[in-house]
Structures are given as C-alpha cells and as structure tokens.
Amino acid sequence: MSARASELPAPEAVLAERDDRRTPAVFLDYDGVLTPIVDRPSDAVMGPEMRRIVSDLARRTSVCVVSGRDRAVVTELMGLDDLIVAGSHGFDIHSPSTGTITHDASSGFEELVEKVTAEVTDGAAAIEGTLVEPKHASVALHYRAVDPARHGEVSDLVDGILAAHPGELRVTPGKFVHEIQPKIDWNKGRAVEHLLGVLDLRGPDVLPVYLGDDVTDEDAFVAPSIADGGLGVLVIDPADAAARETAASAVLADVDAVGRFLDGLAR
C-alpha cells in the first residue's frame, strides 16, 4: 500500500500505537540514512556518533546493512567490520561470522557487469562531471556534478547501453545517479527476506524493521516481512515529503532523527 510521505507518522509513534514489544531485526540502508547525502560518494563517511549508535544496537539485536554500495566500500565508510552487509543492492551478502551468504542470484552476471562497466566508463569520459562507480553486481553513473544542460546526454548514454544489451539490463534511478544492473529478479527486498530466513529471524517475536531513503529502498518497503506487520521507515526531508509516494509506514526527517530512533530501539 502506498501513502504520501508527508502524512506518515514517526516510527516511535507507530510502535507505541501498536504496543509492539517484539524484538527488532534491523535492516539499514547506508547513504541518506546513516550518513547525510554529500556531493562526492567517497566523502560519505559515517560519523563517530552514528558508529557508536549502530555498534551498540548490534550488541542488543540483529543489525544488517543493505546498501547500493559495493560491500567493501560501505564497510570501510562505516568503519565497522562486524556487521552483516548486503552490498550492490543486496546482491553481495557477507557475514563476518559465516562468510559469503549465497542466494538465487549470487553469481552468473560478472562478465556482463564488467563489460557494461567498461562501456559506461568509455561513454562517461566525454561528459564532464560524470563519475563512474564500479561495483560487484552493478555500475553507478553519477551526474550530480554535470551541467544540467547535459543531463540529456547522460540519459542518452544509459539508453544506448541498455539498447546494446537487449533484455539483459535494468536501470534504477537514484539521487543524481543511474544504477545499471543485470536484469535479475533480485533487489533489496529479496535480500531482506533471504536474510530473515538464513539468520533464523522469522517468528512471532521478531519485528523486521527497514530504514531507507531512496527509490531502491521501496523494494524493501514492499517486501512481505516489512509491509505485513513489520516496519518500513522512509528517511526524507520534510520539504520533499509531500511529493513522495512510498510503501513505508513511518518517516524520519534526517540522519540525526535516525540516530535517535536507533538509539532508543531494543532497550
């Protein structure tokens, strides 16, 4: 079910209203949730206070990070290496205690991603301000620093690459980024459902919670465990909330509000 973000309550209010005493299993998106959005992806380093909050929460309950970033990159930006991380939009899942967590879409796309990454890199070289971010299972073409008059060229490049690989790729829009991925039935929502099963977190005493800010996070908000009895939390600037339809059931305004919410969870 979809709602206007500006009409959604805070997650603390949702849990109080439900009188929900279940133990949360927490799934966290990274950019825009654990760190504010910044101009350069490499500058989005998690701050010490959020690091403390996430570490403390992980001592109290299950915490997994589900990011569009490459797994190694998000792990380094967090400065935490003891969390389960599903990188590359949930394709690449790793647990510090058990190693790689495989799933239906774990492999088979490497050659395609390598080829497409090279094509994106070649094409982007002609458009000033673009930034190509290669990942394990996708490639991100950032255009935040591109002159708006040239945004059409960026879209044309993406369309051309899609046309050169009929039926093989999909593109997900993000915040000044085109995420080009293999067209496989896998996403952040599938990753959340998979992790709940693998980690034995299904049951009447568990409250699955997902926090995210971007378009790709909507796949997690509609995942059955989050949408039906769980809690999906959209992080969005109140100034943008009236224009955003979402499947989340609660909202937080920014990274500081995320910190306060996580700090109060599972106590």
Ligand X SMILES: O=P(O)(O)OC[C@H]1O[C@H](O[C@H]2O[C@H](CO)[C@@H](O)[C@H](O)[C@H]2O)[C@H](O)[C@@H](O)[C@@H]1O
Chain residues in the site for ligand X (CB under 6 A): 29-32, 37-41, 44, 67-69, 133, 140, 142, 144, 174-177, 179, 214, 216
Q: Of 187 and 225, which has the nearer Cβ to ligand X?
A: 187
Amino acid occupying residue 236: I
**In this complex, which beta carbon is closest to ligand X, that of residue 206 or of residue 258?**
258
Q: What is the spatial distance between Cα 219 and Cα 105, in angstroms, rounded to a whole number?
A: 16
Q: 95 - beta bridge partners?
A: 99
Structure tokens at 34: 């654990």
User: Closest approach of Cβ 22 to ligand X, in Å?
Assistant: 25
Give least dist CB 16 to ligand X, A: 28
Q: How far apart are CA 149 and CA 156, in angstroms?
A: 13
Q: Which is nearer to ligand X, 11 or 29 (CB)?
A: 29
Q: Which residue of the chain is nearest ligand X when measured via CB?
A: 68
Query: How far is Cα 150 from Cα 139, in angstroms, rounded to an integer?
Result: 20
30 vs 261 by CB, closer to ligand X:
30
- Determine which one of 20, 29, 70, 185 is catalytic: 29
159 classed as catalytic: no
Strands 99-101 and 131-134, sheet pairing:
unpaired
| Cα angle 227, 19, 211; round to 5 | 40
Residue 103 Cβ, how far from ligand X at the closest point, in Å? 18
State which H helix or E strand residue 4 sits in.
strand 3-4
Q: How far is the CB of 76 from ligand X (least distance, A)?
A: 13
DSSP H or E run through 179:
strand 177-182
Tell me which residues are annotated as active site: 29
